[in-house]
Amino acid sequence: MTQLVKLVFAGFILLFIGGGCQSPTASSTAGFRNLLDSVVRLDVREASYTEGTRKMVRGVGSGVILDDDGYILTNAHVVGINAEEIIITLPNLERVEAELIGWDHWTDLALVKMDMESIKERGLSFSHGEFGESKALYPGQPVLAVGTPNGLTRTVTRGIISNPNRYFAASNQIGGYETGYFNTWLQTDAAINPGNSGGPLVDERGRIVGINTRSYLGSNNLSFAVPASIAMEILPQLKEQGRVTRSYIGLKPGALQDLESFYGIEANVGMLVDSIDPGSPAAEAGMRPGDIVLALDGHPLDVRFPEQIPPVLHEIAEYSIGETLTFTVLRNSREISVDVITEALESRVGERWAFEKWGISAEDVSKPYAREVQLDSDEGVLVTGVQQAFPAQQAGLNRGDIVLSINRENLDSLDAMKAFYDTYEENPEKVLFEVWRNHSLRYLVLEPR
């Protein structure tokens, strides 16, 4: 090959490679810079009730300002339900207090609001981000993760969308609270480190397509974010009522992958009922594990793969509480119709508190927990921790006990126990606890220290 041909060939390659690259437009650059100025650091002090004590726990995370009213979106595991102090550090390093407005552990999202009076009095200013379209993301699409990793100031890492529809089995990773039932996750190889949680995952135009949430420790390039579409959907309820109302029937779907031939059905048809919560609406209606649900209210279901499970649970959750759902079910080669009436979705974890003079940490008995351990009702208070050498431990109270009454007065909730404890603090004396343990009643006497 002559020198001239080599030069022409090299020039062609450079032209070909360069032709596919475009420099950032002025609008996309401005959009990303604006996004950077909307990312904040959160320092949180939260009450923790464990082993019979109340402790304050500190944490650091990230968030993104959403509007001119000072609302900030972050993770539920960054700002917990018992947060008592939230300090926001703005991009100009000014600090301002904030309060928790809404919390949804099911999606690991929380909404806080800055003290706007303080901001106005001090003449502070801030930018806010804009949402993009997370449903349109595709594998290989460039994204950037923004946050304050390990307590550092704003940091940007670059990567691509590895999978826009990653499935994880639901878990209890947020202090025992359930998460991951109703959504899949955005998987990216952009680094998301501790402290990045709650910050935005953005496209190249600086639009928010996800909220950084988790990564696999010890692995390379495995990070995950909650899709922006999920955040946009629940934000109105978080603002208006502080929580998200969802319907529940107690049905746990399973993927039919490779099982169709055993049930005599075609591929891409139906949903396996993997399990049914005891005492749930689905159980009361007669649904059984092993049933194949062909349709919901006449609409065919297709759950062949695990990533198809969250959309079905999300669809059920969107029904009004008390509404009747009609399932077309295949059982023993016969099609039957099953009507299920929805009820309000509740967390397995109830409100928590610590009664420190007794040495007890406790929580409300939730309806899901009551069903799980086959209680007749959700009245009473669940003991979650006992402190050594305190009255509760000396009386024989154990973690997992359910306190049904104190001095023969029934406890229908944690609030009732708080009211009795307030009286006890003023005048400590012997207390009789009626306790449910291992399907039998016990009576324990707590003596003041």
**Catalytic (active-site) positions:** 77, 108, 197
Which residue from 183, 197, 182 is spatially nearest to 134, judged by alpha carbons?
Answer: 183
- Pairing relationship of beta strands 440-446 and 409-410 according to DSSP bridges: unpaired
Helices (H), ranges, 264-359: 281-285, 309-317
Q: Quick check: 214 and 224 in contact, CB under 8 A?
A: yes
Task: Report the alpha-carbon distance of residue 63 to residue 45 in Å, rounded.
Answer: 16
Q: What letter would DSSP give residue 196?
A: -
Asked whether 402 and 432 are in contact (CB, 8 A), the reply is no
User: Which residue in the block uniquely carries the two structure tokens 């649904």?
Assistant: 287
| Cα–Cα distance measured from residue 119 to residue 40, given in angstroms and rounded to the nearest whole number | 14
* φ, ψ of residue 149 in degrees (nearest 5): -65, 135
Contact status, residue 417 vs residue 355, Cβ threshold 8 Å: yes
Q: CA nearest 55: which of 76, 87, 84, 98?
A: 84
SS3 150: helix
The runs of H, that is alpha helices, within 49-170 are: 116-121
Residue type, 427: N
CA angle 341, 343, 344 (to 5 degrees): 160
